[in-house]
């Protein structure tokens, strides 16, 4: 019932703080999260068609977010992933 307003509040607080005080990587992740949340609002199928199959729009958005997270983690100087 209160899931969406709580999610949006936490997203705005955390993402806003990352965009304000974070380094380049944090700002990139915050922008990606904002854009993905906005894109999801337009990619969701109508309620009558939801869960009838794969929602390709959401799959593309999630795949792009995964790529952003992995690329930022791989090139981040903070040592998130070291080989």
Give per-residue pLDDT as tens, 21-65: 988 989 999 999 999 999 998 988 787 777 888 888 999 999 999
C-alpha neighbours within 13 Å on the C-beta side of residue 32:
18
pTM: predicted TM-score of the whole model, two decimal places: 0.81
- 48-53: long-range contacts (C-beta < 8 A, 24 or more apart)? none
Predicted local distance difference test score (pLDDT) of residue 52:
82
- 82 in any annotated domain: no
Range of the domain at 14: 3-75
- 55 in any annotated domain: yes
Predicted local distance difference test score (pLDDT) of residue 33:
95
- 15 in any annotated domain: yes
Please report which confidence band the pLDDT of residue 82 belongs to, taking 50, 70 and 90 as the band edges: low
- 37 in any annotated domain: yes
Predicted local distance difference test score (pLDDT) of residue 50:
79
- 81 in any annotated domain: no
């Amino acid at each position: 019932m209160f899931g969406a307003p709580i999610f949006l509040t936490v997203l705005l607080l955390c993402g806003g703080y990352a965009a304000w005080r974070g380094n380049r990587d944090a700002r990139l992740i915050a922008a990606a999260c904002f854009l993905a949340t906005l894109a999801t609002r337009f990619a969701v199928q109508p309620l009558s068609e939801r869960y009838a199959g794969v929602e390709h729009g959401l799959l593309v958005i999630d795949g792009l977010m995964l790529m952003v997270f992995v690329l930022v983690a791989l090139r981040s100087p903070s040592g998130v992933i070291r080989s």
